[in-house]
Amino acid sequence: MPLTIRPANLSDLQFIQDCNVAMAAETEDLGLNVEKLSQGISYIFDHKDEGFYLIAERASQSVGTLMVTFEWSDWRSGRFWWIQSVFVTPAARRSGVYRALHQQVRDLASKDPQFCGIRLYVEKQNVNAQNTYKQMGMQHTHYAIYEELA
């Protein structure tokens, strides 16, 4: 079956929300506050300058999603496109869904005159995802991520 990648819209909010809940449970054994999550997803739809979602569909059924956000790099005087909130439904895994989503990000980013690279972060124990990202030509960096939550 052919795969279609398209920009997400508000009618995809429930699918994106369900994917985020499933991803958090699967990769980090974490439950999400669904109300806050819904607000966070809606925020991106309302602030297109900060990011966007893509949806992968097969036979008119959503089978994957990811979000892209932007980070300015003073060192490169350019914009990194960060891939986040990646989820492919279990039945659609290992069938090219992520590859197609990633390629769409590449294609869109190549049209951005300020684009300087694609980045993402991945859970340390998620070896399957790490292998997929390596197969896409991404490289493990020497950076570690730290955070301070409000």
Q: What percent of the chain shows pLDDT beyond 70?
A: 100
- Check whether 1 has a pLDDT greater than 90: no
Shortest CA distance to 54 belongs to which of 93, 32, 84? 84
Amino acid 52: pLDDT: 98
CATH architecture of 3-135: 3-Layer(aba) Sandwich (3.40)
Strand order in the sheet with 78-88: 3-7, 51-58, 61-73, 78-88, 115-120
- What is the rounded CA–CA span in Å between residue 148 and residue 8? 30
Tens-digit pLDDT profile for residues 131-140: 999 999 999 9
Amino acid 44: pLDDT: 97
Tens-digit pLDDT profile for residues 92-114: 999 999 999 999 999 999 999 99
Listed by start position, the domains of the chain span: 3-135
Shortest CA distance to 67 belongs to which of 88, 91, 90, 41? 41
